[in-house]
Amino acid sequence: MRLRNRPGAMEKLTAHPEYVIQQPETLKGKWRGNFNNDNPVHIEIGTGKGQFIIETAKQNPHVNFVGIELQTSVLLSVLEKQLEEELPNLLLLQADAANLQEYFEEGEVGRIYLNFSDPWPKNRHEKRRLTYKTFLTTYEKVLADDGEIIFKTDNQGLFEYSLVSFSEYGAKLEDVKLDLHHSDVEDNVMTEYEEKFSKKGNRIYRAIIGFEN
């Protein structure tokens, strides 16, 4: 999800510390306390414009959500939605997924959402794919023992690559849908991208992944 650079995006993000975390490393191991409850913490890596995490947070008030996005202009779109909704269980973080262990303690996260990640189709860019083994190592460390990854994409090549990556890593493929929108799943929340491309007839793939304790 790429947007044109929006002038003043960073300034607008920093102007709302009630929703956009400025020093996430200070919250490592303390995210529940920052939400003032003991509810589980779920994160989305790559928020897009925020449709998914806003709606998911609305539907699950007893879960704490953290939306993580690297691009400031994209995250600003999420913040604008959050300023309208004022959801108490949603915080935003401008950060690189490779640095998750700097922000979350081992076992602190209950679920990770990877929605329509950049497929990085060229072989030389394999290490940038969010389902590459080094990312899986990071996810495993921050996830609780019963934690899981929910991965969705419309890119068949990325999905096939990811299934192999999960398997070779030793992760558990708990559920695989080769055509999500024509499956028995009833609680799927769509992203903007998913909505747009599924209307064009694109098949949506989904996998739920856990790790051996």
- Are the CB atoms for 72 and 80 separated by under 8 Å? no
**Catalytic position from the list 38, 118, 146, 175:** 118
Q: How far apart are CA 88 and CA 58, in angstroms?
A: 10
Residue 91, H or E segment: strand 90-94
Structural tokens at position 193: 């991208």
- Are the CB atoms for 147 and 211 separated by under 8 Å? yes
- Residue 118 annotated among the catalytic residues of the structure: yes
Strand partners of residue 205: 153
Q: Coil, helix or strand for 144?
A: strand
Catalytic residues: 118
